[in-house]
Structures are given as C-alpha cells and as structure tokens.
Amino acid sequence: ELEVALKVVIVGDGGVGKSSMIQRYCRGTFTRDYKKTIGVDFLERQIEIDGEEVRLMLWDTAGQEEFDAITKAYYRGAHACVLAFSTTDRDSFLALHSWKLKVENECGEIPTIIVQNKIDLMDQCVVGPDEAELVARALGCRLMRASVKEDVNVGAVFRALAARCLAN
C-alpha cells in the first residue's frame, strides 16, 4: 500500500506561533521560547484519515519571514498551507492577503486554512470575528481558531488539511 506524504507549509508574520504549532503537533510540547532545531527543515507526524496512512511534513521557517527572505525551496512541492495570524497582532492579520499571494505564486492553488492563533488571549483581541470571517471568505479559505498554548484545535487544523488533500 502506498503511503501518502504531504508537505505542509506554515506561513504568517513572525511571532504568530508557527514554530510552536509545529512543535505542539509533532512533539506534543509548548514552550515560551521555541528555537528551531538547527539543521531540521521540518517535523513530521503520521495520522490516519479514512483508513489511509498519511505522513504530514510540517515545514518551519527559521525566522526568515521577518526579512521577507523565505526561499523557493521552502515552498517547493507544498501540498497544503496554514496561513497563521495572531489574535493579539493586528498587523499579522492585515498581512494574510500578501502571504496568500506569496504561496499562490510559488505553489498555485493548494488547500489552505487560515488559523487565528492565541485564542487563549481573547481579552487582548485586536481582530473582530466578522472581519476575520470576511477576509477568509475573500481569500477563499476556511477560518479556524486555535490556541497552540492550550492545545485547542491544532490537531483539527492538520486533519482538515489532510482530508482536503486526499479528497482532491
């Protein structure tokens, strides 16, 4: 039986929780200051979707997003994408559109889910629920809300993406 392997890129402004999300999903841990393991481009986790084994390879950026210097190698061959922003960072929300375009330029149309992270910090929320829905609709993506810190919806995001890829 052929194993399905999916490359998933996680993009969004620095500080929104991308590395934490990957670490949470693949290692089950959360720390305040996650440093990317040197020499490792991605972490992986195997799941089962409708009886099929799926190997998810979650690609991390080494902080280059701050300098707009993510290389083509990062995007190359990606099957799916998480577009992440933070509940407490309005600029990261406003940057979603440009991140979507960058991914599209390199990968074409691939299954993409917008993730509003850090919903444990709702008391500091700077993005209205309606405007988040509106932007998601405008970009043609599903919106999911998550807290990597409290492990809310992280697994659901990657399951949904994997299911979308298998359905294609």
Instruction: Pick one of 1, 3, 28, 32: the residue that binds ligand GDP (CB under 6 A).
Output: 32
- From candidates 4, 121, 125, 166, binder to ligand GDP by CB under 6 A: 121
The yes or no reply on residue 20 touching Mg ion (CB under 5 A) is no
- Say whether residue 7 binds ligand GDP (CB under 6 A): no
Q: How far is CA 3 from CA 26, 48, 53, 102, 155, in A?
A: 18, 10, 6, 29, 20
Report the residue from 16, 56, 107, 114 that binds ligand GDP according to the rule CB under 6 A.
16
Amino acid identity for residue 113 in this structure = I
Alpha carbon 113 to chain centroid, angstroms: 7
One-letter amino acid of 100: K
Q: CA 39 to CA 140: how far, in whole Å?
A: 34
Q: Which stretch binds ligand GDP (CB under 6 A): 13-21, 50-58, 135-143, 155-163?
A: 13-21
19 binds Mg ion (CB under 5 A): yes
